[in-house]
Amino acid sequence: MITALLLILLSGLSSVFAQDVNFTATAKTAVRVGENFQLNYSINAQGRAYQGPNIQDFQVLSGPNSSSSTQMQIVNGQTTSKVSYIFSYTLRATKEGTFTIPAATIEVNGKKYTSNSLTINVAKGSNVASGDQTQSTNTSDDLFLRAAISNTSPYLGEQTIITYKIYTSIQVSNLEVNKISSFPGFWAKDLHQNLKEFPQSREVINGKEYVVAEVRKFALFPQRSGEITIEPGELNCVAQIQSSTGRKSSDPFFDSFFNDPFFNKRYQNVEKQLFSNSLKVNVKPLPTQNKPADYSGAVGNFSFNSEISETTVKTNEAITLKFTLQGKGNIELIDPPAVIIPPDFEVYDPDIKNNIKATKTGVSGSRTFDYLIIPRNPGDFTIKPVTLSYFDLEKKQYVRLSSPEYKIKVEKGEGHAEAVTYSGLSKEDIQYLGKDIRHIKLPPYQLRNTGAFFFKSDLFFILLVLPFFIAALILIIWRRTVKQRSDIVKMKTKKATKISRKRLKLANKYLKESRENEFYIEISQALWGYLSDKLIIPKAELSMDNVKEILTRKNVNQNIIGQFIETLNNTEYARFAPGNKSENMGKIYHEALDIITKIERELK
């Protein structure tokens, strides 16, 4: 009996380890010049030593990016899962022709596997026809990300502005900027740091109107001369792609009416990954002719002034010397002015106050440097003028600014002699401030036994061992957290209700502000997003029918399923319903909140 059980177990294990390893490359076989597309290498086993293809005929925008996916199937109450490991690239077609992407290799259990190669046809101008009449989900003309810079050949230190804009002629949502260049070779200032919404406008390109949103804007200050490349930016969003057929009636009015997304159910939400163009900036060095000796890198247009609080004082009385630099340019990179103070004065490091403004036109503002100086000897003294040199971009030459000369008359004060700092030769070089003798310690005293030391005491050993216990505890908690987060399905299901309630909270805000369009978008995203995360189904694959089927399979009450479907329908048609708009929005909000609560209770 035991022998038979062992044979069955071994045969089962051999069937698991004997499964075929499939290493496959997939991509679109027909694209056009300028189009971005995905190249994926997938394998159904965990491997090592992945060696990607040598891609020469396409621009590599991103990759290789590794990920894994899990497919779950429920057949007759039995759950099976299939895991795939994917290495993905985002490519851009740059020239017309037929090109081959070579194979990739990977090692699994000591054996080397090679994928298939791919042949890509790149057409010019328009999409290569596909085999059916269904509208393509290619959105390269309807949705794209573009980077633009105000000056491609600035001087070293000159302010130039880079803007990332998304252009769309279709409905998009969930804009998320994944990656923006770190701008090596530049000092960058975010001009959208305090904005709550993206600035929007409309532009017409090649006769087509686009809604344009500025998603990022930076002021860049080049720190080295020569050619500098700014890498493409990356943005994720959800685009609404209509998937209906191209059939039309003879009446254009009915065509436009029934092709409206609110009446035509044949559209889907597709997650899109957009990449901007890269930029090359040729930074010119500053001229060396007539360059001042005190020049320290200021570029722009500035004014410089100073003021002093007192010119007639007594010894040990404080004087404030203030310098104010104001203008537009790399003002934050300018160092405090070099002030030459007579040796008979005590001077402190300047107190620097910045009032810098980052607007859509760039960086400007003022910096104030307050010097506190204290005269220690009586007499007549002079603070020499302080100079600041900068390169003026309009005049294309260096400009030298100067503060006035200040003459200070210091009279002998009435303070004690020990409060004065003497300067001079021999014994007068000693600075005596009257605080160099310790006070005599008076009772009560804090005494302890001789020989009682902290070293080798009980507390010493406790504190010595304590870090090891803390480190072990942190390691246990960290491993538990990693294990929980590695279960993507469980984490996504766990966060479904939290995310939906967050969207409902935002919808309630729009309700109070009577922002109808934003309200219905958030309500729809809350309902569909909740089902997508809770049931582990991509949003693009959700529909009324399969939602009903899956919830039925989950043993959800039929009345609640019907209520959920009804809420989805009410959400889509409520904006067209007659009556008070605020009342309709309030009704929809409470229906959505109620049904998500009921579904959550049923699925627990």
Q: What are phi and psi of 570, to 5 degrees?
A: -60, -35
User: Which residues, in sequence order, are bridge partners of residue 366?
Assistant: 326, 355
Same domain for 215 and 165?
yes
Average pLDDT over residues 554-578: 76
Unique residue bearing structure tokens 């008070």: 580
Last residue of a domain, one of 221, 252, 283: 283
Same domain for 271 and 361?
no
- 476's tokens: 């246990």
Same domain for 567 and 599?
yes
Alpha-carbon distance of 49 to 72, in angstroms, equals 28
Assigned domain for 538 exists: yes
Same domain for 116 and 34?
yes
Same domain for 323 and 257?
no
- 544's tokens: 């009324």
Same domain for 271 and 315?
no
pTM of the model: 0.46
- 78's tokens: 């039995």
Same domain for 387 and 322?
yes
User: Which H or E run contains 91?
Assistant: strand 78-93
Q: How many separate domains does the chain show?
A: 4
Sheet strands side by side (includes 30-32): 30-32, 118-123, 97-101
Q: What is the pLDDT of residues 327-376, one digit of tens each?
A: 999 888 888 888 888 888 988 888 899 998 888 888 889 999 999 999 98
The pLDDT of residue 484 = 63
Same domain for 246 and 333?
no
Evaluate whether 236 touches 271 at the Cβ level (below 8 Å). Answer: yes
What CATH number is attached to the domain comprising 355? 2.60.40
What CATH number is attached to the domain comprising 499? 1.20.120
Evaluate whether 224 touches 236 at the Cβ level (below 8 Å). Answer: no
What CATH number is attached to the domain comprising 52? 2.60.40.10
- 598's tokens: 């009921």
Confidence of residue 456 (pLDDT cuts 50, 70, 90): confident
Assigned domain for 105 exists: yes
User: Which H or E run contains 582?
Assistant: helix 581-603
Alpha-carbon distance of 304 to 360, in angstroms, equals 25
Alpha-carbon distance of 306 to 326, in angstroms, equals 11
Same domain for 328 and 203?
no
How does DSSP assign 152-178, residue by residue? SSPBTT--EEEEEEEEESS-EEEEEEE
Assigned domain for 484 exists: no
Same domain for 319 and 390?
yes
- 44's tokens: 């159904």
Domain range for 570 = 493-603
Task: Encode burial over 388-414: b for 16+ CB neighbours within 10 A, e otherwise.
Answer: bbbbebeeeebeebebeebebebeebe
Assigned domain for 462 exists: no
Assigned domain for 472 exists: no
Assigned domain for 408 exists: yes
Q: What is the pLDDT of residues 181-212, one digit of tens each?
A: 788 889 898 888 777 778 888 888 888 889 99
Q: Using the predicted structure, report yes or no on whether residue 5 has a pLDDT greater than 50.
A: no
Q: Using the predicted structure, report yes or no on whether residue 226 has a pLDDT greater than 70.
A: yes
Q: Is the Cα dihedral 24, 28, 33, 38 positive or negative?
A: negative
SS3 state at 377: coil
Task: Encode burial over 415-442: b for 16+ CB neighbours within 10 A, e otherwise.
Answer: eeeeebbeeeeeeeeeeeeeeeeeeeee
Last residue of a domain, one of 393, 409, 429: 429
Label each residue of 225-251 as H, E or C.
CEEEEECCCEEEEEEEEECCECCCCCC
- Region label for 210, one of left (φ > 0), alpha (ψ between -120 and 50) or beta (otherwise): beta
Same domain for 367 and 413?
yes
Alpha-carbon distance of 580 to 594, in angstroms, equals 21
Same domain for 279 and 319?
no
The pLDDT of residue 133 = 30
Q: What is the pLDDT of residues 257-299, one digit of tens each?
A: 445 544 444 567 788 888 888 899 999 999 988 898 888 889 9
Assigned domain for 313 exists: yes
The pLDDT of residue 164 = 92
Alpha-carbon distance of 478 to 486, in angstroms, equals 12
Assigned domain for 189 exists: yes
Last residue of a domain, one of 95, 123, 151: 123
